[in-house]
Structure 1
Amino acid sequence: MGPYEYEVASIDGDYAILRRTDNDMHDEILVARALLPEEIDIGTALHYEMFTYSIV
């Protein structure tokens, strides 16, 4: 699975909306914050590969 590049578009409680940045579609997905690094904030760039998110 992946690799994919995302940006944190918004944070709403226990969930974050991630916008894909490595294609022209800019798809958005809803992800539980428990699956993301604790240090994320709006605008944080993320790399997703092998079911793991990491800050770029």
Structure 2
Amino acid sequence: METWYYVVESIDGDYANLKRTDIESEDLKLVARALLPEGIAEGTQLKYEFMQYSIV
């Protein structure tokens, strides 16, 4: 299973915009905050593996 790294670029209500940090990309991924760990804020570093997000 692959591992991806993200940073929370912005939070908009019940959703967060995530940007990949392990590759060069300007694309943002819109993710429901219910799928993310509690306590995230803009600038929080996240790791995605095994279909779960965790704070790095």
Band the TM-score falls in, shorter-chain normalisation: over 0.9
Task: Give the superposed CA RMSD.
Answer: 1.0
Kindly state the Cα deviation for residue 27 of structure 1 after the two structures are TM-superposed: 2.7
Assess if the C-alpha contact under 8 Å between 2:16 and 2:33 holds in 1. yes
Unmatched 5+ stretches in structure 1:
none
What corresponds to 2:54 in structure 1? 54
Equivalenced residues, count: 56
Kindly state the Cα deviation for residue 26 of structure 1 after the two structures are TM-superposed: 3.8
TM-score, with length taken from structure 1: 0.93
Helix, strand or coil for the counterpart of 1:11?
strand
Q: State the AA in 1 paired with 2:40.
A: I
TM-score, with length taken from structure 2: 0.93
Unmatched 5+ stretches in structure 2:
none
